[in-house]
């Protein structure tokens, strides 16, 4: 029986690769791994490889799925990224109150207009 249980790579479609590389490297602080030709660039995100891609086929030229980046202190990360010019859609807020923690999120756009989110699990006291 096949069991898929680990993601190795996620593709993020972009329009301007140098601009997107600068955003993911310099603004989000991801470690650049390598480039593959003029339309692909790869980053490490906690062991999952993110591939920035200028798609050749029209059917793939659409926004990707929303990626949720887990952070410890959503307030400080939000302030730091906002200070670097990241365009947020909202302020950090509670999405769900769970028995052991509150789930906080905030949504933003990358340099290409793709939406991403910050999420933080804040322990209940």
Mind listing the pLDDT tens digit for each residue in 47-67? 999 999 998 888 877 888 999
pTM: 0.89
Q: Tokens 């650049």 belong to which residue?
A: 32
Comparison of pLDDT for 56 and 103, the residue scoring more: 103
Q: Nearest to residue 29, comparing CAs of 72, 89, 69?
A: 69
Percentage of the chain lying above the pLDDT 70 cut: 99
Per-residue model confidence as pLDDT tens digits over 7-53 = 999 999 999 999 999 999 999 999 999 999 899 999 999 999 999 99
Contact criterion met (CB below 8 Å) for 53 and 40:
yes
- HSE-CB for 82 with a 13 A CA cutoff: 14
Contact criterion met (CB below 8 Å) for 53 and 62:
no
Mean per-residue pLDDT over the chain, rounded: 94
- Determine the CATH number of domain 9-123: 3.10.180.10
- Residues in CB range of 90: below 8 A, 6 or more apart: 106, 107
> Cα separations (Å) of 114 from 31, 33, 89?
19, 21, 12
pLDDT of 125 > 80? The answer is no
pLDDT of 4 > 90? The answer is no
Quick one: pLDDT at residue 94? 97
Domain definitions of the chain by residue range: 9-123
113 pLDDT band (50/70/90 cuts)?
A: very high
3 pLDDT band (50/70/90 cuts)?
A: confident
């Amino acid at each position: 029986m096949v069991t898929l249980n680990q993601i190795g790579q996620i593709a993020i479609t972009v329009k301007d690769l140098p601009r997107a590389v600068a955003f993911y490297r310099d603004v989000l602080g991801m470690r650049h791994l390598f480039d593959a030709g003029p339309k692909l660039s790869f980053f490490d995100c906690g062991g999952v490889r993110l591939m920035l891609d200028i798609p050749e086929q029209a059917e793939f030229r659409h926004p990707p799925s929303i990626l949720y980046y887990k952070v410890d202190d959503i307030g400080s990360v939000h302030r730091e990224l906002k200070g670097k010019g990241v365009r947020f859609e909202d302020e950090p807020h509670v999405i769900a109150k769970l028995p052991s923690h509150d789930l906080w999120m905030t949504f933003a756009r990358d340099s290409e207009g793709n939406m991403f989110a910050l999420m933080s699990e804040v322990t209940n006291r």
